[in-house]
Structure 1
Amino acid sequence: MLAVFEKSIGKPPAELNLPSTGSKKSKSRQEIAEIFQILWPETILCNISNGNFMGLSHENESPLHPRSLVVMDDIFCMFIGTLENICELKRHYGLSRQATEAMVLIEAYKVLRDRAPYPPDQVVKDLQGKFAFILFDAKSHTLFAARDCDGGVDLNWGIAGDGSLICSNDSNLMKEACGISCASFPPGCMFMNGTGLMSFVHPLHKVRAIVHEDDGRQIRGVSFQVDLYTRLPSIPRSGSAANWADATAVEAE
């Protein structure tokens, strides 16, 4: 799968761009789309707006990690993997037996966006299985992505030559698209373009970027890891439908 969002929407962590300092920059969004379609000719490509897009191919799909792309109510969701508790989740969200994992994610997101009964990290923590997903609400320009706590499904992210955020499970594509300005999406974490990267397993602890240098002290890569020694003031809570994507305020005591 592949998701590409312009810098103003994706708002990627600045640390992802550190390895590119002094090196040849990577491809544009249009070039990335062309590369993806060459590598995976049977691609389903969804153009969202302003050159942003999502792409999915079922070629060489593992039966253990099926891929799906669903669009409902201007919400786009790509999902790889399976949810072991999908039947329970369907009942919880009042969905039919035919609902897929991507449909469950869209419904869970809509409940958070419209009613916000609990924080986003709790929603992702309730997902049991091996998975990675990328969800985009075209109306509010909200981007929501996560990877299971065991890292059972590959997911990478990086920054293209024009500053766009690139997400894909194809490491070769990521190297073509982002050069060395890419990293593995940390397991057990979620990302929202309004609140940034956080751990849904340890929501009270900060996720830090770790810079990797070569013998010449040139930055060659960045990884992200939960800092269990640094505690955040409180768990970030989501707001109303109008400000859910930008919910960064600390709850009143």
Structure 2
Amino acid sequence: MLAVFEKATGNPPEELRLPSVGLDSDGKGTREEILQTFRLLWPESTFYHLSNGNFMTLSHGAQSPLHPSRSMVVMDDIFCIFIGTLVNICELRRHYGLSRQATEAMLVVDAYKVLRDRAPYPPDQVIKDLEGKFAFIIFDAKSGTLFVARDREGSIQLKWGMAGDGSLVLSDDPNTIEKACGKSSASFPPGCIFMNGNGLISIDHPLHKVKAIACQDDDGKICGVMFQVDLFTRLQSIPRNGSAANWADTAIVEGD
């Protein structure tokens, strides 16, 4: 799985650049180079070319009983890649009024549409209802909204990084991230939601900042970055005005 969004759309956290501070862009690619490399490795993949050179792609080559289930759907100009399983999918289908044929990817798209269209509605409350092992990426082509989530245990591998042109890169394959982003990458934090207008939000602690922490090697040099909830820093909440135009305004913004 791979999704790449230009800097203006993906709005990646600047902290992803930390391990590469002081280095040149060697080992980091542009969106075009990343796409070309992935297509050579996984020619049978399903590709969706989005606006402004953005794209989402899913390879089915690694699909086996030993690997988590993966699917990709497009509904009403909403693109979704879902990896993993929801153990309470039957209950969720009834809750959202979906048929028995609705997949996990279809279900999370419906959940997103509830957040978008029935504001005010806090996104962390909806994600809390999802029980299982999962990671997913949603892109709403009409509004330009990017929505990423990973389960609390981090059961499904998901990494993100910053490409040479500042684009946001998301993938479940560490090798793909390394080739695309070099050192400017990290594990997507478990139990978190990322929205391109609001940054990272913790599912269980939505009123607290998700903080980037630099990791150092034995020589004191920054060798990586990790994100975790800072229970000592509380965020301000945006007044819930019920606007359907920007559903992310019902969530939380990052503080200083």
Q: TM-score range by the shorter chain?
A: over 0.9
Give the unaligned 5+ runs of structure 1.
none
1:72-221 alignment runs, 5 A limit = 72-116=75-119, 118-221=121-224
Q: Does structure 2 retain, via aligned residues, the 8 Å contact 1:204–1:235?
A: no
CA distance in 2, matches of 1:238, 1:12: 26
**Structure-2 change in CA distance of 1:20 and 1:121 (3 Å):** same
Q: Does structure 1 retain, via aligned residues, the 8 Å contact 2:119–2:250?
A: no
Deviation at 1:33, TM superposition (A): 0.6
Moved more, 208-217 or 156-165: 208-217
Q: Percent identity?
A: 68
The alignment status of 1:22 with 2:22, answered yes or no, reads yes
Question: Normalising by the residue count of structure 1, what TM-score does the alignment of the two structures yield?
Answer: 0.93
The residue type equivalent to 1:7 in the other structure is: K
The alignment status of 1:43 with 2:45, answered yes or no, reads yes
Q: Does structure 1 retain, via aligned residues, the 8 Å contact 2:237–2:252?
A: no
Deviation at 1:161, TM superposition (A): 0.3
Q: Does structure 2 retain, via aligned residues, the 8 Å contact 1:237–1:249?
A: no
What is the RMSD of the two structures over their aligned residues, measured on CA atoms?
Answer: 1.8
Moved more, 153-162 or 32-41: 32-41
CA distance in 1, matches of 2:146, 2:177: 19
Deviation at 1:19, TM superposition (A): 1.4
CA distance in 1, matches of 2:231, 2:239: 17
**Structure-2 change in CA distance of 1:244 and 1:238 (3 Å):** farther
Number of equivalent positions? 250
Deviation at 1:38, TM superposition (A): 1.9
User: Secondary structure of the residue that 1:222 maps to in structure 2?
Assistant: strand
Q: Deviations over 1:206-249 (max 9, x none)?
A: 11000012344332211101112333345886842212234467
Q: Does structure 1 retain, via aligned residues, the 8 Å contact 2:146–2:195?
A: yes
CA distance in 2, matches of 1:60, 1:128: 24
Give the unaligned 5+ runs of structure 2.
none
Match of 2:226 in 1: 223
Q: Deviations over 1:147-203 (max 9, x none)?
A: 000010000000000000000000001000000000000000000011110101221
Moved more, 85-94 or 211-220: 211-220
User: Secondary structure of the residue that 1:97 maps to in structure 2?
Assistant: coil
CA distance in 1, matches of 2:87, 2:252: 33
The residue type equivalent to 2:24 in the other structure is: K
CA distance in 1, matches of 2:112, 2:42: 29
CA distance in 1, matches of 2:183, 2:252: 34
Question: Normalising by the residue count of structure 2, what TM-score does the alignment of the two structures yield?
Answer: 0.92
Deviation at 1:14, TM superposition (A): 0.9
CA distance in 1, matches of 2:241, 2:206: 13
CA distance in 1, matches of 2:239, 2:87: 27
**Structure-2 change in CA distance of 1:248 and 1:119 (3 Å):** closer
Match of 1:34 in 2: 36
CA distance in 2, matches of 1:60, 1:81: 13
The residue type equivalent to 1:56 in the other structure is: L
User: Secondary structure of the residue that 2:130 maps to in structure 1?
Assistant: coil
CA distance in 2, matches of 1:238, 1:190: 21
User: Secondary structure of the residue that 2:115 maps to in structure 1?
Assistant: helix
User: Secondary structure of the residue that 2:50 maps to in structure 1?
Assistant: strand
The residue type equivalent to 2:72 in the other structure is: L
CA distance in 2, matches of 1:200, 1:179: 29
Match of 1:6 in 2: 6
CA distance in 1, matches of 2:193, 2:252: 18
